[in-house]
Amino acid sequence: MKTVNYSQLIKMIEPGKNHPILINTLPKEDFLKNHIPGSINIPAEKITQTAPQLFAKHDWIVVYCANPKCTASHTAAEELEQAGFENVYRFVGGLEEWKQFNKYTCTETGTQTPKRSAA
């Protein structure tokens, strides 16, 4: 399984580049509360049914979940690879690492929410 960290992900999604499909693998309720801008939601348990209908086997896909301990993105990446998807990456740090380095996330309304500083 190929993995990426925050720095690598940022390079992948730079303006002017061909971007990967960024998939949040958490339940819909969690996605609506907070997700990386530009990502879509396919919960891990639905990835094998949904992905083949939406994406080609050669598409560039990055999956992520809440944090390094969360297993949803790991499960989704494995299932995508087993289904024959060729370019699957797992953003291991997930939303936690994203918020550590980047102040913007999206909510269900699509608005960008600045990261709250620790008090």
Per-residue pLDDT at 72: 98
Q: Is 80 exceeded by the pLDDT of residue 117?
A: no
**Is pLDDT at 105 greater than 50 in this prediction?**
yes
Domain ranges of the chain: 2-103
111: pLDDT strictly greater than 80: no
Q: Does pLDDT of 93 surpass 60?
A: yes
CA distance linking residue 93 with residue 66, whole number of Å: 8
Which residue do the tokens 């024959």 mark? 84
With 0.85 as the threshold, say if the pTM is over it: yes
C-beta separation of 74 from 87 below 8 A: no
Q: Looking at the domain 2-103, which fold is it?
A: Oxidized Rhodanese; domain 1 (3.40.250)
Tens-digit pLDDT profile for residues 6-64: 999 999 998 877 889 999 999 999 999 999 999 999 999 999 999 999 999 999 999 99
Structure tokens at 106: 């999206």
pLDDT at 81: 98
Contact present, 50 and 75 (Cβ < 8 Å): no
